[in-house]
Amino acid sequence: MDSDTRNFYLAACYMSLGAKYEKMTCDEENTSRKTFHFSGDTDFAQIKKDFANGTLMINASRYADCLRNLKSILHGSE
């Protein structure tokens, strides 16, 4: 299953829970708007629901690592 999101923090959650980062794309009209694309057997819908409800449980240090990785990806594209 594949999923994408423009939410930086949700993207880090996907990565923290084992989703494979595929690529980042830019909006054609607004190049500052980025979309993160993921794949894998991860239940993206459940993660998104739990994230929105504030009930998602993830390892804090892994989440912090994923945030740093995504920042590197984001700033490397500029």
> How far from 7 is each of 33, 70, CA to CA, in Å?
10, 11
pLDDT the model gives residue 39 = 96
- Per-residue pLDDT tens over the stretch 5-62: 999 999 999 999 999 999 999 988 887 899 999 999 999 999 999 999 999 999 999 9
Specify the number of domains making up the chain.
Answer: 1
Type of residue numbered 2? D
What pTM does this model have? 0.90
What is the gyration radius of the CA atoms in the chain, in angstroms? 12
pLDDT the model gives residue 78 = 54
> For residue 1, what is the enclosing H or E element?
none
Tell me the residue range of the domain where 61 lies.
2-76
